[in-house]
Amino acid sequence: MTEGTRRMPAEWEPHQRTWMAFPTANPTFGEGADLQRARRAWSRVANTVARFEPVTVLVDPRDHAEARALLDTDIAQVPLDDAWLRDSGPTFVSNQAVDWRFNGWGAQSWARWEKDAQVAAKVAELTSTPLSPSALTQEGGAFQVDGHGTVLLTETVQLDPDRNPGWTRLQVETEIHAQLGTSQAIWLPRGLTADYGEFGTRGHVDIVAAFTSSGAVLVHTQPDPGHPDHAVSQEVLEILNQAQDARGRRLEVVELVAPRQSEVDGELVDHSYVNHYVANSAVIACSFDDPNDEAARAVLEQAYPGRSVVSVDARDIFAFGGGIHCITQQQPT
């Protein structure tokens, strides 16, 4: 790699460290039992990842004692609004850290982002990484890369008028390619249905599709024709089966069948095995105490040969609006 070359390494390439954030009291988590439930769920993921690589968890100074009691990781005290570090943190590329504009997933009414909008710069400072500011408003969960020039995007995120008013598809692609070193964008029309609910992201791709080290792209697939995500997943499968990557190759598309449970307390959920995290020598997989958990593990083992697949119960993460991938952010070596 020549000096100044810009490339976002694929998630399965070697990591120096994983970054996370510790849930703090806010409209997402509340201040009582729900907040404690979230903190335990986030800590389980952090402590699991720490078995395979160093982990630093950002902790709001007022929450330091509670975090120290739950975490077997490094801690850095940073003011926080929320705990979805995939979205508020920087995107590490070769030689730099990209600081996307962050506005609470499209300035949603419940979101707080004054502190979180500064988190990417704080992490860059902690890692002594030069910062690359971007004019594009988006989050880390809103794109996926294969490490060879291809990026997956979603129309309802990057072209969201509450994120990027007036931006064209060409302008979005130009900025993303400049920041990530990609050259081919594959656009999906929308995300999973529940992701458009109260605490949703309005279409993050990291619960829909993911590139893998085997060269395949995994796609969340809903086989039930009566489920609203059946049509969504069929459209995504059709697009990806016809798409080419940056090297001009047809994609190898592998279906990752959704958990059977589609509702919790009468509310539609977007539980997804696609929302896993690839750490050094391991895949941290979402489990849901669901009959499809083991089948998903088998698919992930095939998709990431040579890596251990470690399942962590993700139900108490998805209850607050995301999954394991949404709360982790890799720093490549």
Catalytic residue set: 326
Determine the Cα–Cα distance for residues 298 and 92; give it in Å rounded to an integer: 30
Strand order of the β-sheet with 96-101 is 91-93, 96-101, 131-137
Please give the backbone phi and psi of residue 109, each rounded to the nearest 5 degrees, phi first. -60, -30
Residues forming beta bridges with residue 97, ordered by sequence position? 92, 131
Q: Which residue has the tokens 């404690």?
A: 36
**How many whole angstroms separate alpha carbon 302 and alpha carbon 213?**
10
- Where are any strands of DSSP class E within the chain? 15-21, 55-59, 74-77, 91-93, 96-101, 131-137, 144-145, 150-154, 184-188, 209-211, 216-221, 252-257, 263-264, 267-268, 277-279, 282-287, 308-313, 329-332
Q: Which residue has the tokens 């119960």?
A: 313
The helix, strand and coil proportions of the chain, stated in percent and rounded to the nearest 5, come to 30, 25, 45
Bridge partners of 217, per DSSP, are 211, 253
